[in-house]
A = this chain, B = another copy of it.
């Protein structure tokens, strides 16, 4: 039950932007240096974030990325969604013809996993990027 690095780095990078952007674009190079994340990997991640309207880009020199919403309004669930990091603890829902064990009826545990997904999703829904920034000490 692990989160992949893409999602982790995305949240980390956006938190970095929230801290260091002073109304101007933040370059991936700076994020890479501050957060210790590979620049090439960040590029891949920000491609998705841009397509999903989490950030917008400014090209050319002094360019970089800007948060579309304020950290107070940006839900963590939006970020994860942008990276296809769906919280689906099991995967039997897609083709309703087949349950997880190949039978036509839902298995005995189905409702339980559904509840779990709801539980986790509600956590991400209720957290905003700004929540990560509170009471950080000397970090970053």
Q: Is the CB of B113 within 8 A of A3?
A: yes
* Interface stretch (choices A52-60, A62-70, A103-111): A103-111
Contact (Cβ within 8 A) A88 B123:
no
A119 CB contacts on chain B under 8 angstroms:
119-120, 123
Which of these binds chain B: A8-16, A22-30, A43-51? Answer: A8-16
Residues from chain B with a CB closer than 8 A to the CB of A107 are 12, 35, 139-140
* CB atoms of A139 and B106 under 8 A apart: yes
Report the separation of the CA atoms of residues A11 and B127 in the bound assembly, to the nearest whole angstrom: 30
Name the CB-closest residue of B to A134. Answer: B111
CB-contact partner of A108 in B2, B76, B86, B139, under 8 A: B139
Copies of this chain: 2
Q: What secondary structure prevails in chain A residues at the interface with B? A: loop
Q: Bin the interface of chain A by size.
A: 35 or more
Q: Which residues from 27 to 44 on chain A have a C-beta closer than 8 Å to any C-beta of chain B?
A: 35-37
Contact call A112/B11, Cβ cutoff below 8 A: yes
Judging by beta carbons under 8 Å apart, are B108 and A136 in contact? yes
A96 at the interface (CB under 8 A from B): no
**A15 x B139 contact (CB < 8 A):** no
Residues in chain A within 8 A of chain B (CB atoms): 1-3, 8, 11-12, 15-16, 19, 35-37, 76, 85-91, 100-103, 105-113, 115-116, 119-120, 123, 127, 131-133, 136, 138-140
